[in-house]
């Protein structure tokens, strides 16, 4: 059960840019705040549904629209054109800009604040864990570009999720992350890329297990049931 969902406005400390974010609040006692980071397709109906599902778990969720500077109200389909445009926008969005916008999202929530991200957002979740103050824990799903940030260690507890059959993230990339951070839980699932999405690669068992691990991470780092 969740409370009302709405669009809120965040102000980036980088340049004062105002970006919209989907906000979903729990109807019952709150476990914590959660910044949910989009895939390359934008804050889609699927991302909103994921936000709603975490609100059902007791989290106050903000899902910022992180490509807003480059294309207003961006939402792409899963076809070749949508994927190409999403990749283009992700490459046009520098990590410093993403970190600043995520810091605005974290600051908009009462602690503890957690982060979860998918695909491009999985790398952005790593970025938040490394650079953004106030993040209590982060769960990073199939972050293909984490190697770009490999020398920036998470400053909070974090877990990583990868599919063993993900053609876009070779096993040696996952091995390199695990080797550099041997104490960091790196989970590998019998699934492909996007196994927690609503696309063709969706793998219910892998998605369910990864979510349970994510919720456990949050619970162990302050995400207990609090007051309304």
Task: Say which residue the tokens 């080797």 belong to.
Answer: 179
Burial class (CB in 10 A: 0-12, 13-18, 19+), 3: middle
Q: Which residues pair with 116 in a beta bridge?
A: 36, 139
For position 2, what pLDDT does the model report?
61
Q: In terms of Cα–Cα distance, which of 214, 213, 188, 192 is closest to 203?
A: 192
For position 228, what pLDDT does the model report?
41
For position 168, what pLDDT does the model report?
94
Pairing of strands 32-37, 113-118: parallel
Residue of 46, 161, 193, 203 marked active site? 193
Residue 156 appears among annotated catalytic residues:
no
Distance CA 209, CA 187 (A): 10
Residue of 101, 119, 156, 161 marked active site? 119
Residue 193 appears among annotated catalytic residues:
yes
Q: Which residues contact 23 (CB under 8 A, 6 or more apart)?
A: 5, 6, 7, 8, 60, 61, 62, 63
Residue 119 appears among annotated catalytic residues:
yes
Domains and CATH numbers, the chain: 2-220 (3.40.50.1820)
Residue of 23, 46, 156, 166 marked active site? 166
Tens-binned pLDDT, residue by residue, of the chain (228 aa)? 566 789 999 999 999 999 999 999 998 889 999 999 999 999 999 999 999 999 999 999 999 999 999 999 999 999 999 999 999 999 999 999 999 999 999 999 999 999 999 999 999 999 999 999 999 999 999 999 999 999 999 999 999 999 999 999 999 999 999 999 999 999 999 999 999 999 989 999 999 999 999 999 999 999 876 544
For position 226, what pLDDT does the model report?
56
């Amino acid at each position: 059960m969740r409370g009302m969902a709405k669009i809120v406005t965040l102000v980036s400390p980088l340049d004062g840019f105002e970006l919209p974010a989907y906000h979903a609040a729990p109807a019952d006692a709150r476990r914590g705040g959660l910044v949910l980071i989009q895939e390359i397709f934008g804050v889609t109906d699927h991302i909103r549904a994921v936000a709603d599902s975490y609100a059902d778990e007791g989290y106050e969720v903000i899902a910022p629209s992180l490509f807003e500077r480059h294309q207003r109200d961006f939402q792409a389909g899963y076809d070749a054109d949508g994927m190409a445009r999403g990749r283009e926008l992700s490459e046009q969005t520098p990590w410093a800009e993403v970190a600043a916008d995520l810091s605005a999202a974290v600051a908009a929530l009462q602690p503890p604040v957690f982060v979860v991200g998918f695909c491009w957002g999985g790398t952005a979740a790593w970025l938040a864990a490394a650079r953004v103050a106030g993040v209590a824990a982060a769960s990073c799903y199939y972050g293909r570009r984490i190697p770009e940030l490999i020398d920036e260690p998470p400053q909070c507890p974090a877990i990583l999720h990868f599919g063993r059959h993900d053609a876009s993230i070779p096993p040696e990339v996952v091995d390199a992350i695990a080797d550099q951070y041997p104490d960091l839980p790196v989970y590998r699932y019998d699934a492909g890329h996007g196994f927690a999405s609503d696309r063709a690669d969706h793998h219910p068992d892998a998605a369910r297990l990864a979510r349970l691990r994510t919720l456990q991470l949050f619970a162990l780092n302050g995400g207990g049931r609090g007051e309304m």
